[in-house]
Every structure is written in structure tokens, then in C-alpha cells.
Structure 1
Amino acid sequence: MRVFFLLACLAALVTAVAAWTKEDHEIFDLVSAIEASEGKGTTFYSWLGVPSTASTSEIAKAYRKKSIQLHPDKNKGLKKAHERFARLGVVSSILRNTEGRKRYDFFYKNGVPKWRGTGYYYSRFRPGLGTVFVFLVVLSSILQYFIQRLNHKRDIERVDWVIQQARSAAWGTRLVPVEGQRKVKVNLGGGPRLDGDGNLVAGRMVEMVVDGDGVYIPDADGNLDLVDKSAAVPPSLARTWFVALVAKFFRKIVRSKPPSSPGAVPSEDNESDDASATASDVPSSGATTAQEEGGARPRGARAAAVMAGGRRRKAPKKRQS
């Protein structure tokens, strides 16, 4: 019902916008320009100094008087004097025309519409290339984020369904827990189907192990990988294309910088450099080298740090008994 009401409102709005003619848009332009130049609330009649019931001859007389005041020759050095004078001529033409004055009187009494269609505002605000690029980046990033949310929700539902199927195969349809491990096969590829030769083929059957409340998938090494919701990747703005691209570019710039050795003291001459290098190469009894004090990290420690950082850990594994 709400959708139907919204569509009806949009249809009525489109009809109203389509009913506005080129002359109506010209009136809208003049109303906005006069209020911006002469003050808010200024109308065609108040600018000419005549009432809304003035006759055509009274409007023509007021126009001649006003045009003398606003003539560019009498307003030299005044900004936008030519624009005001030209605008006055258009206003006079509309009010002295029967149909034009009828259209203006309608908006004069009922008010100029605030929403005037996309084309009206586009004629005043023409977005540049930068504005369009920013708009597309923001719009595409928001859409990608919502797609991530939908995929995350779908993955969680899929994991719940797999766990439910495994427990149902191990415990029965009543889902009464049974102690100990039970190996089951779960169909993850839908129901049975016919292949190209017309043979009945079962769906994708996956072997699983149900141990208590946990559901596991055995791997090639005999370990059990826990099936839980942590496998579903949550949505993140950092994984949208633009943020990921900026982060990748930033990391590339950081890596391209030459490494600096902290704590290095510049030598006075080449002989002192050679001497210090020779002294560091020959270990002495009871002395600690720069690497032992933390100057350079051992290879094993560096490898452990790389494995620990930045990567999503796998689901906890359980050794099959």
C-alpha cells in the first residue's frame, strides 16, 4: 500500500513538472534573480512600484520611469547594471502580455514551487569533473558496502544451514544430542539431479564430524576444521574499492622509501668507517653484538611476526581422535 501511494505521488509530481512550460521556467528564473538582487520577497509589481491590479498602461508608465533610473548610462561603475536593466525589460514584457501576466499572477498568488525539477537546478549548478568523480566514488563505495552486508548475512545463513544439516544427520530429525563423535555426510550441492546421460546424481556430499555441539570438516592431514560463523567475512569500509586502492597506494609509497638505520652515527673519514666495520665483524669475549642488543632481528622472529600480523587466522582445528 505504501509503495502504491509513493508511486502515485511521484506520478503526480512528474505530471506537475511536465506541465511547466518554458515560459514558466523563465518566470522562475526571474523571481529568483530579482529576490537575489533586490531583496527577498520582491515581486514584479513591487519592483515596478505598481499594485497587482494595475492596468497595462500603468505598467508601461512605471516601466519607463524605472528604466530611466536603472539605465546603465546613469549607473556607470555599478556592478550588474546591465543585467538589472535587461531584467526589467523582461519583467515589463511579461506583465504587458496577457498570457504571460496570467501565468505570473498564478505563481504570484499561489507561490513559486520550491522543487522545480532536475533540469531547473542543473541549469544553475553544473557539476564539474571533480564533483562528479567524488559523487561516483561515494555512491559506488556505499553500494559496495551494502553488498558486503548482504553477502555477510547470506554467508551466516549458509553456515547455520550447514550446521543444522550436519546435526540433523548425526542426531536425527528431533535433534537430540548424542555423545561422542559421529561421521556424517551432508549434501551441500542441493538435491539429486540428472546428468547429461540421464543418470541420477546426488548433490555435493561433504564428509563432516559432529562432536557435541561442534561441527567439523576433516582435512587431508586428519585435522578437524571447526565450522562456525567466523568464516563469514564481516562488512568493512576498509574493503571498499576506493579505500583499498588508497591504502595499497600508500603502502607502496612507504615501501619505496629507502630504509634508514636507526642509531647510525656518521663517521668523520673513511678510515674510521673501516675500523668500526672491522670491529663489529670480530666478536670479543664478554661483548654483545649490535644484533643481540636489538639492532637486527633474527630471521625466525621476523618470520613469526609476519605470520602473526595482518592475516585472518583459520578456524580452530581439532585433532580427530
Structure 2
Amino acid sequence: GNSRSLSYTTLLLHLLSIYWVIISWEKVRSRASIWDPGSRLIIRHYSQEDHEIFDIVTELEAAEGKGTTFYSWLDVSSTATTNEIAKAYRKKSMILHPDKNPDVKGIHERFARLGVISTILRNKESRKRYDFFYKNGVPKWRGTGYYYSRFRPGLGSVFIFLTILTSGLQYLIQSINYKKDLERIELIVAKAKSAAWGPKMQPIQGQRKVRVNLGDSRDEDGEVTGKKWLDMVVEDSHIYLLEPNGDMHLIDASTAVKPTASNTWFLALLKSLFSKVTGGKFAANATPASTEAKKENGTAPDIDTDASSTTGSEAPGSGYSTPKNGEEKVHIGPTSKAGGMRRKNVRKR
């Protein structure tokens, strides 16, 4: 109903709000801070040494190739000792020395960069800072500063994700309600048969009207105002719900509404919009058989699972329901065909 649609809309708005809070926090955190596992503090701004490392990494990748690191350029592992790094530096400096490469373009910049990298890696504190960015990634220059590049889904991706999530939750709720409806139906059918056939549950040929006790009836304040009764007709193994106007509706497992993806809010919304766009032609093309099926497949009556056992049964064709606990005797008029079922005429004697 409208209340259920409102609850789904509220849930969707809450999920959107949570998403935007998370995205806003990630933007602030990624632009203004990094996590230092050594001090376990959030550093609000990159230090001058950090910026120097970022610049060297950017220049190194531009000159030597994307993905080149300080360690790979020196041809040592990330766990190399200071002596191993110094040895690798001396070896690399002999290869890149400008005196041995006078005609190589950019050799002076590469040689100077090698000295800076060697200094960073041979210093305990600066190497610790580089190792952090080596493991967690180096932020990229964005024109006004260095920022981490993170995937941030757009509004369309968020809408699709939330639509799938809320529709899945709605389908799950439908499945739970369907299971509960089946349990209600089984309980009502069992009570009706018990009232009509007696404790031994021996089927009786013909039609028999019974009243099923659904438990206590309560007002808005929760006070007990009386008993809730349900008029039903038992005919062979079929159980019918008897309405005050005399109509009878078959009560069985098909009465409960099965969960379907087409009944989730998004697909239902699309069907509704399509129906409006086509001027209601889609709804008008519904066959009379589908209308009859809707009448037959009504919702299961609400019952109290802790209610007492069924009481009350009546002779077939009496036209009256037996009063209980001083209740007024009510006449049930003749029934007519409803939901494609046989006409049941109850005559007053």
C-alpha cells in the first residue's frame, strides 16, 4: 500500500544520505591527510620531505618509465641494507657519470637524481617515509597539490546500486510475508476442518458452515474488546471464506501472493509509468480471466497464531451463524458466483 511505498522511499533516502556522507569524508581525508602507521596520527599536510619524494618519483617515472621505483632503478630489493644500497649507488653512478656519457641528453639530470635517491634511501627517517608511499602508493599532482586517486562512483552508479539493494530487500520481505501467509492459511484451514469434522477429523460429505476463532479482538489502546470470528464453509476438502454478503472465496495455498521481481518498487514504477504513457491501454488489455484470478487469490486473513482452537459448526443450508457468548444471530444471504467458483445458494428455512 501507500505506507509500504513510503517506507521504501524513506529507506532509499537514508541510504543516499549515508553514501554522500561517506563520499564527503573520503574527499576531505584524501585531500588533506594521510595515515602514518608509525605515529598512528593523521597528518593534516604533507611535509617538505614528502613533497620532495613525490617530485623525485614523478621525474623518475617520466625519465625511466612508468612504474620505476627507487629500488628497481638501483636494482636492489626493498629490504636491502644501507651498505647494499650504497654499493648499488656506486655501481649505478659509474654507469651514469656525465664524464663517461658526454653526448647523452639529460645525463646530468639523471646523475643528480641518482644522488638524491641514494641520499633518501640511506637516511633512516626519509627511507621510512618513502617506504610508506612505496607500499601505499604515491599521490598524484592535481594542479594545486598532491592527491590520492580513488574510485568514486557517480550518481548513476549509486542509483543502480541502491535500486538493486532496495529491490532485493523488498523481494526478501515479500518472501518472508509469503511464508507467513502460508502458515496462516494452513492454520485457518486446520481450524475449519476441525470444527466441521470433529476431533477425529473424519471428512463429512456435503457443505458445512463453521465459525473459526481468530483470538482476541483489541482496540487502539490494546484493550480486549471481544473475540474475532471468521465465517467459513467446509465442503469436502475445500475450505471457503464466507463473506457477509454471501460470497465465498476458496482458501488454499494459491490465496497467498507469491513474491515476484515484477512487484518490487522499481519494476512496479516502470510498469505504472508505461501504463500512463500508453494511456492505460496496457491495463485495459488485461483479460477477464486475470480479473477473476485476482478475485480468487485474495490476501490471507490476519490471524493470531496463539489463538484458541476453532469452535462452532452449523448444519448445511441453515442460512444463520450460530451465536456465541451472547452474540447476535446474523443471517447470511444467498451466495453468488465470485472468483470463478461455483455458486453456493444457502436457503433460509
Q: TM-score range by the shorter chain?
A: 0.5 to 0.7
Residue in structure 2 matched with residue 217 of structure 1 by the alignment: 241
Aligned match of 1:171: 197
1:114-142: CA deviation from partner (whole Å, max 9, x where unpaired): xxxxxxxx952111111111111111111
Deviation at 1:213, TM superposition (A): 0.8
> If the length of structure 2 is used for normalisation, what is the TM-score?
0.49
Asked if the contact 1:226–1:318 (Cα under 8 Å) also holds between the matched residues in 2, the reply is no
How many residues were matched structurally? 223
**Percent sequence identity over aligned pairs:** 41
Q: SS of the residue aligned with 2:184?
A: helix
Q: Report deviation, 1:229.
A: 1.8
**Bigger proportion of residues as helix:** 1
What's the counterpart of residue 246 of structure 1? 270
What's 2:294 paired with? 313
**Cα deviation 1:124-183 (Å, max 9, x = unaligned):** 211111111111111111111111111111111111111111112222333222223222
Mapped to 1, the partners of 2:115 and 2:204 lie a distance apart of 93
Which position in structure 1 is the counterpart of 2:170? 144
Q: Take 2:116 and 2:205, find their aligned partners in 1: how far apart are those partners?
A: 91
How far does residue 208 in structure 1 lie from its aligned partner after superposition?
0.9
Structure 1 residues 211 and 104, CA gap change in structure 2 (3 angstroms): farther
> Which residue pairs with 2:301 in the alignment?
none
How far 1:92 sits from its partner (Å)?
6.2
**152, 157, 160: which one pairs with 1:126?**
152
| Residue pair 1:152, 1:234 contacting (<8 A) in 2 also | yes
Name the SS of the counterpart of 1:319 in structure 2.
coil
Aligned to 2:326: none
1:1-321 maps to which residues of 2 (within 5 A)?
21-22=35-36, 38=66, 44-51=70-77, 52-55=80-83, 57-58=86-87, 74=106, 95-98=121-124, 101=127, 124-188=150-214, 190-191=215-216, 201-255=225-279, 308=288, 311=291, 312-315=293-296, 316-321=340-345
Q: How far apart are the structure 2 equivalents of 1:67 and 1:129?
A: 54
TM-align CA RMSD: 4.9
**Displacement, 1:184?**
1.4
CA distance in structure 2 between the partners assigned to 1:310 and 1:137 by the alignment: 29
Deviations 1:199-236 (A, max 9, x none): x6443111111111111122344332111122211111
Whole-angstrom CA distance in 2 between matches of 1:197 and 1:134: 42
For structure 1, which runs of at least 5 residues remain unmatched after alignment?
Answer: 1-19, 76-84, 114-121, 258-302
- SS of 2:203's equivalent in the other structure is coil
What stretches of structure 2 of length at least 5 have no aligned partner? 1-33, 137-147, 297-339
Distance in 2 (CA, whole Å) between partners of 1:89 and 1:242 is 62
* More deviation, 123-132/47-56: 47-56
Indicate the SS of the match to 2:71.
helix
Larger strand percent: 2
Q: Which amino acid aligns with 1:225?
A: H
RCO comparison, higher one (Cα < 8 Å, 6+): 2
1:139 partner SS: helix
Query: Retained in 1: the 8 A contact 2:82–2:122?
Result: no
* Cα contact 2:86–2:118 (8 A) shared by 1: no
Rounded to whole Å, the distance in 1 between the matches of 2:260 and 2:106 is: 64
